[in-house]
Amino acid sequence: MLRDNGPVVSGANITIWATVYNEYHEKASGSFVYTWEDDTLPNHFFTEESSSPVSQWNVSYPSPEYYPSTYLVEVKVEVKPHWWERDLCRTGRVINITG
């Protein structure tokens, strides 16, 4: 599940959270690798390894480099036991940067 604190004004930080739940709709346990990216040019990206089921990404879209618009943010979550890695999910969310 993704959520954010947007919309935000151009130049301000926007925060996006990803939360991983298990089949019982409880926060999952384990080791995760979160890979974040957006569809801007130049794009932003962030990778985090964590034992937390919640990952937080703070990103800024300063003007004039980025215009007020909607952008797609995606996160891929991988489960990372010691000896193998597998994709758990990939999801996206449209964020709104205003002028």
Looking at CATH, the fold of the domain delimited by 2-98 is given as Immunoglobulin-like (2.60.40)
Residue 84 pLDDT grade (very low, low, confident, very high; cuts 50, 70, 90)? low
Q: How much is the pLDDT for 2?
A: 93
Q: How many whole angstroms separate alpha carbon 38 and alpha carbon 94?
A: 9
Average pLDDT over residues 70-79: 95
Mean of the per-residue pLDDT values for the chain? Answer: 92
**Nearest of 77, 96, 95 to residue 86 by alpha carbon:** 77
Asked if 71 and 93 count as a contact pair (C-beta separation under 8 A), the reply is: no
